[in-house]
Chains A and B, each alone.
Chain A
């Protein structure tokens, strides 16, 4: 039995289904606005771009708001630089961002150099945060584990609302998030509508991450003005792979450069290319 189900959207969250088979003769509208409200609190077209052309092209214009995006890789592969570019983009839009730092690694100078406005970034460091454990009354049983302060803080920030971006820097966390914690984080992000970036050495949130960007450092660029001149550190060449993407295709790669001084680096590279061509 063929059933034609034309869907007519009325408003943003209300839809009606007309099924000629079920309602023979008289199509009856079925309002499932409540269902759609429950499922889709965020719109996939609300994205936050990084301002870096190659990354934006890779992730389809930007990371989705209300979802978790993982930026994964070993230390030194450019994770923080990519996250900082998203933070710069958010603060440039006058949005407020939060940066939850598990290892006290936030460097305000270089984050500001990346274009982010530090006055719009709520920073919290959990390097010396006390471990949240709950001792049992008799002391015999092992202490019950509570959520880590970092996750608790992330939920608090997302519950407060109004943040455009929340960056959770897991540092070198050797563990994966429990599914329950990742689910809570995803739900909180969805309710808040903030883009959530998780910086971690490996994928942390499992199926609850909408996007996973795996970074790999291709090489570190050192250059010299001429042969006898001392070396200068120019930056990193990074390969980004879209390992997971719930909102589209995955598996695409992009190569980008992260430079200590992007403008001079570009000029220098152009000059070097020009001289190579001349030779």
Chain B
């Protein structure tokens, strides 16, 4: 014989409202559909009931009894959330759960004997879990749902032992059953009282056929209930796929801080429910009802599912700060899709790593501080532009055992400090090479220099006609092009398609591809060849050649903004790179854009 438990919350509309507004816990509270003085009370809190306030009184009558009476409207959203919470409590104990009237949930205790030693233990555990979700419930356990519910109606915890159901039912008053009306429309409570029946045992001793002929079908059902109770099995319900908490506010909230305060309590209740079910919160869907019957919804991705209320609230707050709702908020609904918790056992022999949920919160906070595009893992782009990079979501790979201890080196790798965007500079040249560099907050003599290394790539993206082989052939025979001897100058190119061409004065390093023969600069780059400062040409360069001066003289900020920077965006790359050691103590990476003949500084070796 199976055992059924019943979770019953008395005055459920009041309990749901108090759950959504914990500050009303001890208040003298009553529910009414209207605040008008003649409106009737539909439910009263235990505190109000102690003072003698009853449901059915008008507000004026109730206020005459207690001036501290608070009147509130029942909240459908709060009741739905409370019902879901009760079901979650039941499902955290047993998989077979059926919801009855609001505030009443049955669960099948079949097979729980190995987990809980007795019915009392189950009942106390259920009561404790209901308290965790913010309500007080009475628990009854019996052989069937009627016995369990009637046991719960007695209040507290009551376990009806197997075989003693009839004995328990016999002494219960008749009004614990919903008597309803008979076949002739008469009130059964009055009829049975006129017959002198006061307890269920009195009703159970009557002949069902005789009762049926007098009171109709309802009478027979009552006799059956009074004898054995409702022995129908529970109808299992599908498991919830989402968890939601909703609140309807009495007034609109316009700022984030009070909204956050309300949402924190909602998230705490949601986290309790999820923890009862052994789940963690996944992505959050926030639906706000706004003033003027408008809606505002937002989906917040939770990369590291967790029940950390603070972390989730931070993510929601940061999202709302980034794009706040356009009007006052009148209702809030937070819905989350549950996820299985992540096993978080770390390896004792591996270095610690940031906890995923804390890392996610930290990244969200950093993004709020410096902008969402400025946080993450910065990866060099696979491009011929040395300044190209992309920012990816930071997700460090799991730590791996360290194979070998690092070997100490004698020489450090020199690192470049990038200047973004590349700063336009003016380079004053003499016959022997660059002499002086001038730019914003910069003015220094060139002490030493190296270069150039030509980067000629991505010309296939240029909408204008690409340099043809014919141009290349012309350039090859151009006496002005690359007058350096082959021993001094080597051109490197990728094999075949020559995707990137880098000019390396000594032929060592700096080349992006294996050498496959000389590939000269394209014709559009050769137009400025006279001013490109490859070393052999330096002797032929003139101080401040006219086109260089024209490009670099307007150094005022406004003028710089007015100048287009085709070399810094998408499109062909035709640059000569240099390293300038200036007398201010720095070694800078400088390039000259061959298409515009303008000089830029894009990094300092540090």
Contact = CB atoms under 8 A, between A and B. Distances in A.
A265 B355 contact: no
A229 B365 CA distance: 53
A246 B516 CA distance: 57
B581 interface: yes
Interface string A101-121: 001111111111111001111
A212 B260 CA distance: 43
B414 A78 contact: yes
Contacts of B386: 109
B410 A129 contact: no
How many B residues touch the partner, as a band? 35 or more
Contact of A51 (B375, B400, B409, B581): B409
A164 to B, nearest CB: 6
Interface in A232-277: 232-233, 235-236, 238, 256-262, 264-266
A96 interface: yes
Contacts of B603: 107
A105 B587 contact: no
Interface string B430-462: 000000000000000001111100000000000
B412 interface: yes
Contacts of A160: 354-355, 358-359, 361-362
Contacts of B359: 160, 162
Given A78-B606, A108-B378, A120-B397, A236 B587 contact: yes
Given A75-B586, A94-B400, A232 B411 contact: no
B414 A235 contact: yes
Interface string B54-72: 0000000000000000000
Contacts of A84: 413, 415
Nearest to B602: A107
A79 B376 CA distance: 23
Contact of B363 (A81, A119, A122, A128): A122
A17 interface: no
Contacts of B417: 75, 80, 103, 105, 107
A74 B605 CA distance: 11
Contacts of B117: none
A27 interface: no
B409 A53 contact: yes
Contacts of A82: 412
A125 B370 contact: yes
A155 B534 CA distance: 48
A15 interface: no
B395 to A, nearest CB: 8
Nearest to B534: A230
B278 interface: no
Interface stretch (A37-45, A179-187, A217-225): A217-225
A18 interface: no
B360 to A, nearest CB: 9
A169 to B, nearest CB: 9
Q: Which 3 A-B pairs have the closest CB atoms?
A: A230-B505, A76-B586, A162-B354
Interface of B: 350-355, 358-359, 361-363, 365-366, 369-371, 374-380, 386, 389, 391, 394-397, 399-402, 406-420, 447-451, 484, 487-489, 505-506, 508-509, 534-536, 579, 581, 584-587, 603-606
Given A75-B585, A261-B509, 5 more contacts: A75-B604, A107-B416, A122-B377, A153-B365, A238-B412
